[in-house]
């Protein structure tokens, strides 16, 4: 069972539904250390992406269309970060209508690179990269999807003990301690949907 | 928790419906160049640097209200508390471009920087030079001036840059004056209540009665610390102590003052604060050249206020006094 | 019940401290003629009818903010939501009197009527003729136009009278134009939250989430009824239905529009309402000549909004367009 | 024991204290059908009056001084109404340093007339007159102070069943039913202090 353009369409449908379901919880998390809109950004971005991906010939076209749609629907921090992530995924998937499932963890590694590149973040700064980077490392080391997901979730959990040094929460200093980074939490949810669809 | 009370139709449509209302109410000042890209009817012109501002919605009259002759030429409009994507920034810049270059000005937030930087790259491909000056006036937000947020001081900083552009100064000069204005503008605020996003209608955070957030931003981000709600004079004193120390202006210097409401704090309270600010400036032998009191940079219905002081010199005084005629702001 | 969050020092001193701040912030526009009596620096002049407005505090920028060249010459300042006593009314009138008579204008409230009437009697003893035009624009407040309250429409009505006085028309004409302006101005509002007095810091009334007061005044008085909080367009429609029926203007008529915040309702929501108001006026074939959107007549931190439509004719159009330069309001 | 200028000073001290104590309750009552400030007006008015009355030679001077002080401190509806009431009381007391206690109910009758004159109100319109008028009627018919007070209190209670047709509450129509008029309630408190001081 390859990862096909149909699976990809379903994946984005699932991502949009998941973000809609988590919207208020993610906003509440962002309210504690940020501006309470992260759930809205992720919902709107993934819904726009889900509308953009059907009926495109290749996975590359799909991820590129998702990137553009996400960016234009959202702006914010999440927009450029996920747009870049999705463009890297497009490149990793390549101009083909399907890719072998065994190759799909490479998408996670590519997305993590895109986020790191765009956000100029390092792990440990309490951002979404703290979920994406360990997931990418697991992916690169040949881990299974469940293992990748656990790496992401552990990474997201660990942000609770970090003091933010990038993004909106960076101005909080010590007050950011004790709360998980909303972007890291949504990242682990996204990776969970990837794992469900591709694992 | 109950939903907050808002006069909206659909939280997801609020920004576009607001924009429709702004355009309907201000046809002499504003027109839509492209989706979420607003340009001044009378502003951009050949040979003039285009000043393009922008940012998230929910801060009205910032940013939209400062588009007009003598101030910003165009504005990119984001979702509530969210930077606009690159496309409206590009569209606003193209609509305002007069061939003398574009200056992007906006508050220093990670999201805005990433989106406007992408816009700058796109404009480069079109052969349009776009430079950027970030506003960083919120002295509470970091010890490092370069890392600070841009908040209500935007009004003065944009005003100075807009005047420079209106005077047909070249891009180098407009940029220099913008940076100079930003370097001499100091803001600090307190929040007395949270606000709520139109999509969720949930309060951004929990602030018990009798407490306030000190060093609050304009997106409901927590401040530098939480403390007991103090009398207006004590609040003004705490802010003025910080600003005066940071500003370090010599006796006799001129300043411009903005006492700004974050939303629901009414003029009565702003003027009570202003009375104390004026006393403190007089005690420091500083001369108030001009003042603004009102809701200039808001967080929707948040309660609270900020105080901004701009340390003037002759050039900045000229820039602030230069006439402008915007949808929601006028000088001269 | 917990205390409301306000940036004040002492509830009893709030009005005087606000006034000190207003005078400090607007020295080019305003000066104090006597305690609680403010007069325009540039306004009163020999041979010109003196327009004197006034009322309770807590409605800022109404009334204080409308004092200046081309609008009101002086203002008597009451306690929060309380008419000024006769003495400040007398003092304001004497300071503004140019020998051509005084016109008192204020909202139609029992307390204001009693106090200004006593002031009129006192002025008579000084040989100064003072007439009165009450504003009664709140169409929700009574079926009988003479019994209605004066609310946000004040802005247009005072503006028209102030222009007439500035044009040096005689008292008879200024009074006629003031009455004409009042008769053609229609307002209705809704409240989404209570406000609180600085002395008590207790909410004026209880309004559960999801409900609104329809036909609300500007002092936290209950409205004509309580109903479910509806979407902005439905609220605008209900108000516009009532205004259009009352106004009964012929197709093609010109109007001026004010979408006013009662305090904490932000510009975003006002512009969403404005978009609908503009649609409704277009559908009724009425031409919007000019618009105001913002906090013009408030109840401190109350949430809610009102819509005012003034049915223009050539004379009223001229009066609204006539320049004025006040502390908190400018035209032209 | 006559009603002397000293008793009068004490009476205004008691009125000021009573209004201060009842301020928030009166504001709450006013909040139901008015603008929630009646307690503030009465507190400020009576405090200003209490500051104005000491060390004046006659009762007439005292009531006149109280009238002027109340008016200038308050404005609002209560200002002119109580200023006129107190000026009528001054006239009734006359230019003397003391008056026989038996005559003092005439003060209430005089005050009620002042209020009716200034406010152009009739009984039954749900105003303070609905407490003052029955008290005045009792006073004129030779009732004792406790009887005058009971008349005032019954009058105030009865306002709960009236629909307001004057003042701020008149715009409420039927919504004013079921709530006592704050001005009538404060009136009965004032009359209670008179009864305590003079009864
Ligand atoms: N430079 C960055 N690199 C990586 N992630 C970042 C960066 N800046 C912010 N983030 C992530 O973005 C999240 C906030 O996203 P969102 O709330 O949608 O945007 P905004 O901060 O503009 O309101 C943060 O929780 C953090 O994970
Ligand atoms: N015309 C009037 N005659 C007598 N009493 C009046 C009249 N108008 C108002 N009142 C009284 O005044 C009271 C309100 O007083 P207050 O709250 O101090 O003034 P305001 O209504 O100006 O806020 C009402 O409860 C009512 O008893
Ligand atoms: Mg956010
Ligand atoms: Mg945001
Ligand atoms: Mg009142
Ligand atoms: Mg009242």
- Residue D118 near chain C (CB below 8 Å): yes
Taking the C-alpha atoms of residue A107 and residue B323, their distance in angstroms, rounded to an integer, is 54
What is the 3 state secondary structure string of chain C?
Answer: CCCCCCCCCCHHHHHHHHHHHHHHHCCCCEEEEECCEEEECCCCCCCCCEEEEEEEECCCCCCHHHEEECCECEEEEEEECCCCCHHHHHHHHHHHCCCCCEEEEEECCHHHHHHHHHHHHHHHHCCCCEEEEEECCECCCCCCHHHCCCCCCHHHHHHHHHHHHHCCCCHHHHHHHHHHHHHCEEEEEEECCCCECCCCCCECCCCCCCEEEECCCCCCCCCCEEEECCCHHHHHHHHHHHHHHHHCCCCCCEEEEEEEECECCCHHHHHHHHHHHHHHHHHCCCEEEEEEEECCCCCCCECEEEEEEEECCHHHHHHHHCCEEECCCEEC
Query: What pLDDT band is residue C1 in, cutting at 50, 70 and 90?
Result: low
Count other Cβ atoms within 10 Å, centred on residue B143. Answer: 8
Which chain B residues are Cβ-neighbours of C60 within 8 angstroms?
Answer: 266-268, 271
Q: Is residue C4 part of a domain?
A: no
- Token reading at B24: 């309907």
Determine which of A164-173, A174-183, C167-176, C191-200 has the lowest per-residue pLDDT on average: A164-173
Q: C187-225 as b/e, with b when 16 or more CB fall inside 10 Å?
A: bbbbbbbbbbbbbbbbbbbebeeeebbbbbbbbbbbbbe
Percent of chain C clearing pLDDT 70 (strictly above) = 100
- Token reading at B303: 């309660």
- Residue D143 near chain C (CB below 8 Å): no
Strands (E), chain B: 30-34, 37-40, 50-57, 68-69, 74-80, 102-107, 130-135, 185-191, 211-214, 225-228, 254-261, 287-294, 304-311, 324-326, 330-331
Structural domain ending residue among the three candidates B184, B199, B223:
B184
Taking the C-alpha atoms of residue C306 and residue C295, their distance in angstroms, rounded to an integer, is 10
Query: What pLDDT band is residue A60 in, cutting at 50, 70 and 90?
Result: very high
Structural domain ending residue among the three candidates B184, B201, B222:
B184
- Distances in whole angstroms, Cα of residue C62 to Cα of each of B114, C57, C86: 43, 8, 19
Whether B100 and B245 share a structural domain: no
pLDDT over 80 (residue A138): yes
Taking the C-alpha atoms of residue B309 and residue B240, their distance in angstroms, rounded to an integer, is 9
Which of C82, C87, C147 has the CB atom closest to D37's CB atom? C82
- Residue D173 near chain C (CB below 8 Å): yes
Whether B169 and B33 share a structural domain: yes
Whether C113 and C225 share a structural domain: no
Task: Give pLDDT, residue C174.
Answer: 98
Residue whose pair of structure tokens reads 């997106």 in the numeric block:
B219
Taking the C-alpha atoms of residue B302 and residue B196, their distance in angstroms, rounded to an integer, is 8
Taking the C-alpha atoms of residue A132 and residue A164, their distance in angstroms, rounded to an integer, is 16
Whether C159 and C19 share a structural domain: yes
Rg (CA), chain A: 15
Query: What pLDDT band is residue C280 in, cutting at 50, 70 and 90?
Result: very high
Taking the C-alpha atoms of residue B12 and residue B248, their distance in angstroms, rounded to an integer, is 45
With CB atoms and an 8 Å threshold, state whether A173 touches B224. yes
| CATH number, position B263 | 3.30.1180.20
Whether B55 and B176 share a structural domain: yes
- Omega before B63 within 30 of 0, i.e. cis: yes
pLDDT over 80 (residue A167): no
Return the residue in B37, B142, B222 with the most chain A beta carbons within 10 A, the one to mutate for interface testing.
Answer: B222
Which of A72, A81, A170 has the CB atom closest to B87's CB atom? A72
Cβ atoms of C212 and C227 closer than 8 Å: yes
Q: How is the beta sheet containing C50-57 ordered, strand by strand? A: C30-34, C37-40, C74-80, C50-57, C102-107, C130-135
Rg (CA), chain D: 15
Taking the C-alpha atoms of residue A148 and residue A139, their distance in angstroms, rounded to an integer, is 6
Structural domain ending residue among the three candidates C184, C218, C238:
C184
B180 labelled catalytic: no
Q: Is residue B77 part of a domain?
A: yes
C259 closest CA partner among C291, C217, C307: C307
Q: Is residue B92 part of a domain?
A: yes
Per DSSP bridges, beta strands C30-34 and C37-40 are: antiparallel
Whether B140 and B279 share a structural domain: no
Whether C270 and C256 share a structural domain: yes
Distance from the C41 Cα atom to the nearest Cα atom in chain B, whole angstroms: 17
> B40 pairs with which residues across the strands?
B30
Cβ atoms of A76 and B111 closer than 8 Å: yes
User: D168 or C169, which is more confident?
Assistant: C169
Taking the C-alpha atoms of residue D44 and residue D23, their distance in angstroms, rounded to an integer, is 10
Q: Say how far residue A67 (Cα) sits from the centre of its chain.
A: 11
- Say which DSSP state B195 is in: -
Q: Is residue C225 part of a domain?
A: yes
Q: Is residue C332 part of a domain?
A: no
What residues contact residue C324 under an 8 Å CB cut-off, 6+ apart?
A: C68, C69, C70, C71, C159, C162, C163, C166, C330, C331, C332
Q: Which residues constitute the domain of residue C207? A: 185-320
First to last CA, chain B: 47
Per DSSP bridges, beta strands C324-326 and C330-331 are: antiparallel
Taking the C-alpha atoms of residue C138 and residue C308, their distance in angstroms, rounded to an integer, is 9
Could you list the pLDDT tens digit for every one of the 199 residues in chain D?
899 999 999 999 999 999 999 999 999 999 999 999 999 999 999 999 999 999 999 999 999 999 999 999 999 999 999 999 999 999 999 999 999 999 999 999 999 999 999 999 999 999 999 999 999 999 999 999 999 999 999 999 999 999 998 877 787 878 889 999 999 999 999 999 999 999 8
Taking the C-alpha atoms of residue C144 and residue C81, their distance in angstroms, rounded to an integer, is 23
With CB atoms and an 8 Å threshold, state whether C141 touches D171. yes
Task: Give pLDDT, residue A1.
Answer: 82
Q: Per-residue pLDDT averaged across B102-114, rounded?
A: 97
At least 3 CB pairs under 8 A between chains D and B: no
Which chain D residues are Cβ-neighbours of C225 within 8 angstroms?
Answer: 175
Q: What is the mean pLDDT of chain C?
A: 97
Whether B178 and B190 share a structural domain: no
What residues contact residue C247 under an 8 Å CB cut-off, 6+ apart?
A: C184, C186, C309, C311
- Say which DSSP state B147 is in: G
Count other Cβ atoms within 10 Å, centred on residue B132. Answer: 18
Residue B47 backbone phi and psi in degrees, to 5: 85, -5
Taking the C-alpha atoms of residue C289 and residue C320, their distance in angstroms, rounded to an integer, is 10
Taking the C-alpha atoms of residue C154 and residue C222, their distance in angstroms, rounded to an integer, is 20
| CATH number, position B78 | 3.40.50.10440
- Token reading at D170: 């008149």
Rg (CA), chain B: 19
- Residue C204 near chain D (CB below 8 Å): yes
Count other Cβ atoms within 10 Å, centred on residue A100. Answer: 9
Whether C90 and C41 share a structural domain: yes
Which chain B residues are Cβ-neighbours of C10 within 8 angstroms?
Answer: 231
Rg (CA), chain C: 19
Cβ atoms of B150 and B131 closer than 8 Å: no
Q: Per-residue pLDDT averaged across B291-310, rounded?
A: 98
Task: Give pLDDT, residue B153.
Answer: 98
* Number of domains making up chain C: 2
Return the residue in C1, C4, C5, C207 with the most chain B beta carbons within 10 A, the one to mutate for interface testing.
Answer: C5
Q: Say how far residue B163 (Cα) sits from the centre of its chain.
A: 16
pLDDT over 70 (residue A80): yes
pLDDT over 80 (residue B222): no
Q: Is residue B176 part of a domain?
A: yes
Written as one string, the DSSP assignment of B104-143 is EEEE--HHHHHHHHHHHHHHHHTT--EEEEEE--BTTS-S
Q: Per-residue pLDDT averaged across A143-154, rounded?
A: 98
Task: Give pLDDT, residue A176.
Answer: 86
What residues contact residue C236 under an 8 Å CB cut-off, 6+ apart?
A: C273, C276, C277, C280, C307
B86 closest CA partner among B21, B127, B35: B35
Out of B26, B29, B180, B219, the active site residue is B219
Pocket test for ligand 1, best of A168, A172, A188, A191 (most atoms within 8 A of CB): A168
> B249 pairs with which residues across the strands?
none
- Omega before B61 within 30 of 0, i.e. cis: yes
First to last CA, chain C: 47
C289 labelled catalytic: no
Whether B28 and B135 share a structural domain: yes
Whether C172 and C30 share a structural domain: yes
Return the residue in B21, B28, B199 with the most chain C beta carbons within 10 A, the one to mutate for interface testing.
Answer: B21
For residue A35, report the distance from its CA to the centre of ligand 4, in Å.
Answer: 5
Which residues line the pocket of ligand 2, CB cutoff 6 A? C 81-82, 110-111; D 30, 34-35, 37-38, 41, 76-78, 81, 115, 119, 121, 127-129, 166-168, 181-184
Q: Per-residue pLDDT averaged across A10-39, rounded?
A: 96
Residue whose pair of structure tokens reads 């200004």 in the numeric block:
C116
Q: Per-residue pLDDT averaged across A64-91, rounded?
A: 98
pLDDT over 70 (residue B90): yes
Whether C84 and C162 share a structural domain: yes
Q: Is A38 in the pocket of ligand 1 (CB under 6 A)?
A: yes
Helix ranges (H only) for chain A are 5-33, 38-52, 59-74, 78-93, 105-119, 129-140, 145-158, 182-198
Residue whose pair of structure tokens reads 């500007």 in the numeric block:
C218
Count other Cβ atoms within 10 Å, centred on residue A6. Answer: 11
- Omega before C134 within 30 of 0, i.e. cis: no
pLDDT over 70 (residue B1): no
Count other Cβ atoms within 10 Å, centred on residue C250. Answer: 9
- Distances in whole angstroms, Cα of residue B89 to Cα of each of B49, B80, B115: 16, 16, 8
Longest Cα–Cα distance of chain A, Å, equals 49
pLDDT single digits (tens) B127-147: 999 999 999 999 999 999 999
Q: Is residue B223 part of a domain?
A: yes
Cβ atoms of C133 and C161 closer than 8 Å: yes
Taking the C-alpha atoms of residue B152 and residue B159, their distance in angstroms, rounded to an integer, is 12
Signed CA dihedral, A59, A65, A69, A71: sign only: positive
Q: Is A185 in the pocket of ligand 1 (CB under 6 A)?
A: no
Q: Is residue C6 part of a domain?
A: no
Task: Give pLDDT, residue B216.
Answer: 86
Taking the C-alpha atoms of residue A75 and residue B114, their distance in angstroms, rounded to an integer, is 9
């Amino acid at each position: 069972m390859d990862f096909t353009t149909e699976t990809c369409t379903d994946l984005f449908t699932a991502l949009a539904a998941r973000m809609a379901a988590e919207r208020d919880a993610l906003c509440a998390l962002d309210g504690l250390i940020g501006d309470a809109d992260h759930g809205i950004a992720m919902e709107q971005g993934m819904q726009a992406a889900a509308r953009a991906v059907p009926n495109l010939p290749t996975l590359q076209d799909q991820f590129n269309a998702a990137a553009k749609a996400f960016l234009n629907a959202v702006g914010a921090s999440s927009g450029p970060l996920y747009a870049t992530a999705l463009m890297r995924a497009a490149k990793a998937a390549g101009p083909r209508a399907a890719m072998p499932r065994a190759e799909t963890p490479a998408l996670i590694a590519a997305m993590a690179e895109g986020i790191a590149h765009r956000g100029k973040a390092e792990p440990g700064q309490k951002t979404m990269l703290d979920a994406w980077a360990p997931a990418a490392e697991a992916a690169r080391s040949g881990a299974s999807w469940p293992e990748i997901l656990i790496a992401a979730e552990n990474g997201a959990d660990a942000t609770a003990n970090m003091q933010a040094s990038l993004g909106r929460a960076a101005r909080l200093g010590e007050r950011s301690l004790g709360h998980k980074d909303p972007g890291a939490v949504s990242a682990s949810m996204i990776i969970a949907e990837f794992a469900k669809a591709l694992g | 928790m109950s939903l907050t009370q808002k006069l909206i139709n659909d939280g997801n449509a609020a920004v576009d419906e607001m924009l429709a209302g702004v355009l309907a109410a201000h046809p002499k000042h504003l027109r839509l160049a492209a989706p979420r890209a607003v340009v001044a009817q009378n502003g951009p012109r050949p040979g003039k640097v285009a000043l393009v501002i922008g940012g998230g919605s929910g801060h009205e009259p910032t940013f939209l209200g400062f588009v007009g002759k003598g101030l910003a030429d165009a504005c990119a409009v984001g979702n509530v508390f969210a930077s606009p994507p690159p496309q409206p920034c590009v569209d606003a810049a193209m609509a305002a471009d007069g061939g003398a270059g574009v200056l992007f000005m906006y508050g220093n937030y990670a999201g805005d920087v990433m989106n406007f930087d992408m816009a700058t790259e796109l404009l480069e491909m079109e052969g349009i030079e776009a430079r950027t000056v970030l506003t960083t006036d919120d002295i509470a937000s970091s010890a490092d001036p370069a890392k600070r947020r841009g908040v209500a001081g935007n009004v003065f900083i944009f005003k100075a840059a807009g005047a420079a552009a209106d005077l047909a100064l070249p891009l180098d000069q407009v940029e220099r004056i913008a940076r100079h204005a930003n370097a001499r503008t100091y803001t600090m605020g307190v929040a007395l209540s949270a606000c709520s996003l139109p999509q969720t209608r949930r309060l951004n955070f929990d602030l018990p009665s009798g407490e306030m957030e000190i060093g609050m931003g304009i997106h409901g981000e927590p401040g530098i610390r939480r403390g007991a709600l103090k009398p207006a004079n004590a609040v003004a004193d705490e802010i003025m102590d910080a600003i005066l120390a940071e500003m370090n202006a010599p006796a006799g210097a001129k300043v411009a003052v903005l006492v700004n409401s974050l939303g629901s704090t009414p003029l009565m309270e702003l003027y009570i604060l202003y009375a104390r600010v004026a006393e403190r400036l007089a005690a420091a032998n500083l001369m108030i050249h001009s003042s603004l009191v009102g809701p200039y940079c808001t967080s929707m219905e948040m309660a609270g206020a900020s105080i901004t002081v701009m340390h003037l010199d002759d050039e900045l005084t000229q820039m602030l006094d230069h006439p402008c005629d915007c949808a929601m702001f006028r000088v001269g």
